[in-house]
Amino acid sequence: MHRPFVQLPFRALPEHPRLPHGWYDLAPREVVVDSPGLGPVRTSYVEVGEGPPLVLLHGLMTTGYSFRYVVEPLARRFRVLVPDLPGSGRSATPDAPHTPEAVADWLVAFLDATGARGGDLVGNSMGGYLALWAVLRDPEAVGRLLVLHAPAVPSLRLRALWAAIRLPGSEAVLGALIRREPRRWAHRNVHYFDETLKSLEEAAEYGDVLTTRDGLRGFHRHLRDVMDVRAVARLGRRLRSEGALPCPTTLVYAKADPMVPPSDGVALASWLPTAELVWLDRGSHFAHVDAADAFLEVVDRVLA
């Protein structure tokens, strides 16, 4: 078996992933989502299945594609909606600050625009962080929440990254670094417990969009605005003050996550004592990719 988190050389990546999926068989849809902070945003999403709504929200530098292995199983019981966040994938990048409050309001507006208000939501990484903001800003927006590896503490690593991304000219520098080899950039910056799941297809999905003006600007604003360490700290204070969220909440963290420290899950659980904390022995920051069975087992139990 391939050793955990040991990346394959880029030249060794297969054209397509070794585990097949039907993501590209799903026809993308578009809806214009209007919210106070971002204004009208052309939003790309896929929708499949029937039943109660379930929204899957991706994280930083990825797209809805990251849920490729779980959409079909979930669509057997849910009406599954998977949007690309503003500034990501095939969605537009609004010319406005992407503060977490503004993007959380976009998320609530997306739920309203698609008839998914009151449905369940799974948020991975930055998507889970934004979901926490959304339920605080609109307590009736989400029925049940599953937070998957969301950052919750302004760590030294996060502070250093944010300080660098605020420097003058940082967007141009970031663009120069990415455009040299965008697919290699994506390969290097996504980490799986089982790295043999990677492919050139995935590298193109995540890397190519960052070479466009809108894609780079969106990525830069996610780093600069959404993941503003002052906002991360502000969310923590708010959660500690509230002591509970207005919806049933499950926190899912992989013990070996190299991207967000598992201690962030411990912190969230201490602030939200009514939330359930679930640990995954295997899997990465993207457990819905490399521990899909374990992820689906948790979803089946908490969203049954």
Structural domains in the chain? 10-302 (3.40.50.1820)
pLDDT over 90 (residue 3)? no
pLDDT over 90 (residue 68)? yes
pLDDT of 201: 98
User: What are the pLDDT digits (tens) for 27-37?
Assistant: 999 999 999 99
Rounded CA separation 254/149 (Å): 7
- Across residues 162-182, what is the average pLDDT? 96
pLDDT over 60 (residue 246)? yes
For 163, the enclosing helix (H) or strand (E) is: helix 156-165
pLDDT over 80 (residue 158)? yes
pLDDT of 2: 73
pLDDT of 5: 94
Instruction: Give this prediction's pTM.
Output: 0.97
Average pLDDT for the chain: 97
pLDDT of 1: 53
- Across residues 67-91, what is the average pLDDT? 98
- Across residues 167-196, what is the average pLDDT? 96
User: What are the pLDDT digits (tens) for 252-274?
Assistant: 999 999 999 999 999 999 999 99
Rounded CA separation 221/261 (Å): 23
pLDDT of 304: 79
